[in-house]
Amino acid sequence: MKFVSIALLLSVPVALFAQGAVSLPEVTVHSPRVANQTPAGTFAMPVSVLRYEPRVDIQGRNLAEAQADVTIRGGIFENTGFQVGAVSLLDPQTGHYAAEIPIAPALLTAPEVRTGAALALGATNATVGALSYGWRPVRTAGAAAVGAGEFGLRRAELYQGYATSAGAGAQRFGADVAVAHSESNGVVRYGEHEFDRVNVRLQRADATSQTDLFAGYQAKFFGWPNLYTPFNSNETERLQAVLVALNHRADLGPGQFFEAGVFHRRHKDDYAFNRFAPLGPVHPFQHTTWVQGAAASGRWDLGEIAVNFRGELQRDELRSTSLTFGRYSERTFTKFAIVPEKTWTDSAGVRTSLKAGLAHEDTNREGGAFAPVFELAREFQRGDLRRLHLSYAKTSQVPTYTALNSNPAAGLFRGNPNLGRQRSHAIELGASAVLADWTIEGAVFWRRDDGLVDWTFRRGVTARAANLVDIDVAGLEFVARRSWSHIDLVVGYTGLAKDADYRGASVDASFYALNYAKHRLTAAVTARLGGGLEVRMDNVARVQAENLLRTIGGRRALSTTLAIAYRPKEWRGVEVALQADNLWNEAFQDVPAVPAARRQLSATISHAW
């Protein structure tokens, strides 16, 4: 019945409206590939639109904005990198907190998914894919929203930007601020949350460059049964993230740029396995990490050859009450990549480019690794086919402190201080085309992950353990888009197959490496029905790999977010919206043994100016 309903909701607007393209106002769009730019249960974060991104899979606990593992192409949460401007944002404690980016989406461009050669030239310490965000130009505009919903939900968000007109030398200066608050009793018992975020940014820009100075703070408290363990415990977590960043980007001509940045990130994590257990003077799971880094990247044209390059340096530090069994608690990362590029254009206007070079990643704790980078691409000016490419890239990363410094013989999380560098080899054949007004991008890929650190379960053992696994991954993905005068439609599909070898370890189930969708289909539709009425719908249908830890909800699931919005003509910039997340009240467990969030209904009034 759910699939019949979704088909009707998608087909009716398409049949009614089929003529040219209309875009949403820029201030509201955090990603053009999804329909709903904000969640129903809290304020928007960079992770919010990733719930329905066609090439990204989210495995959430409570709200995705509370805690979400971000995966790409069948990787796990620690294979995925995040890049904001020039720099990579890592969490050295655990990849569970890699998405703790205390930046309002209104300050950022839409996320770009990078794989293959683009990944090798991008984020540090990521092996499968990365999400890259840019800094959005400041303009004189603002937006405010207040909302309320079931389970005692209350939320509010404010953004205001101001930019001067271009003065002498065509320079302009800007500043913006963003604040947000959200709280709720929770869609399940002991699933409450309270979130706060504050951002301030200064910007200098001209026709070819932009410099941003940013400071942000985010505090989160949330509870959830079986948050990280399958042992029927009501768990809680308190997270605090501080980020200060300076970024400069300059466009140097067609296809040429230079970008550099520095940052400081502090993250605090206070986790309680049993929220009712009396706490002594020291909390049993309390961690603080610091990361400082600098990066520079660019593309320079040197005549017949262009050079793509990247360099990055980071230092991290951990202080913890429980992650004390490893060999060290601070380290330094480096990444360097130089990839020359040769381009030809033939008499028919077909542009052929060849990239071939090397990347190198290292730390002061483990050995480094060289990584070849190769891509051959052809771009066409005529016909339906627009681009065709073949790439090979090797990437590598080192484990986080939770895997390295957890007690290997006792406790809820059992690590291994001798874990080393993980390596990944990926081959990709991709194409993009325009067919009958549809824009289509697709790829087939194969990847070999050697020495991947997975967290596994064994019957009779009240713990999860860090084990090495070698995995072959084969996949297919595509994204198709089309817009008419009153409707936007984006459809995506990813199919995956895996073959895993745990090197003789006794493993009964995998929490992450073997928790993947064999088939995942997304559909996003925005229908403008006239008279200021708009319907926005995002959908994910999946068939998940079997996993004995998944006790409720089965392997097949359909998740839907539906919003009905009204924009009265008399009140310019005002929108009233009713929204439902998990419309069908789906019980599917994103992470095995972690209960699904129930349906959340909310109403929001917003004003953009």
pLDDT at 27: 45
pLDDT at 539: 98
Average pLDDT over residues 249-259: 95
Average pLDDT over residues 343-366: 94
- pLDDT-based confidence at 13, cuts 50/70/90? very low
Q: Closest by alpha carbon to 44, among 101, 2, 1?
A: 101
CATH assignment of the domain containing 275: 2.40.170.20
Each residue's pLDDT tens digit, 460-492: 887 889 999 999 999 999 999 999 999 999 999
Range of the domain at 185: 2-608
pLDDT at residue 12 tops 80: no
Q: Residue 161 and residue 281: Cα distance in Å, rounded? A: 44
pLDDT at residue 590 tops 70: yes
pLDDT at 64: 96
pLDDT at 1: 46
Q: Closest by alpha carbon to 606, among 43, 33, 31, 196?
A: 43
pLDDT at 23: 41
pLDDT at 5: 43
pLDDT at 17: 36
Mean pLDDT of the chain: 93
**CB burial of residue 144 (10 Å; 0-12, 13-18, 19+):** middle
pLDDT at residue 10 tops 60: no
Tell me which residue has tokens 């860090």.
Answer: 466
pLDDT at 11: 41
Q: Residue 47 and residue 89: Cα distance in Å, rounded? A: 14
- For 277-344, give the DSSP string: SPP-SS-SEEEEEEEEEEEEEEEEE-SSEEEEEEEEEEEEEEEESS--SSS-SEEEEEEEEEEEEEEE
pLDDT at 28: 63
pLDDT at residue 199 tops 90: yes
Domain count across the chain = 1
pLDDT at residue 584 tops 70: yes
- pLDDT-based confidence at 2, cuts 50/70/90? low
Each residue's pLDDT tens digit, 529-577: 999 999 999 999 999 999 999 988 889 999 999 999 999 999 999 999 9
Tokens of 410: 């006792």
Average pLDDT over residues 60-80: 96
Q: Please answer whether residues 500 and 471 qualify as being in contact, where contact means their C-beta atoms are separated by less than 8 angstroms.
A: yes
| Residue 216 Cα to chain centre, angstroms | 18
Each residue's pLDDT tens digit, 105-141: 999 999 999 999 999 999 999 999 999 999 999 999 9
Helix, strand or coil, per DSSP, at residue 225: strand
Average pLDDT over residues 343-358: 93
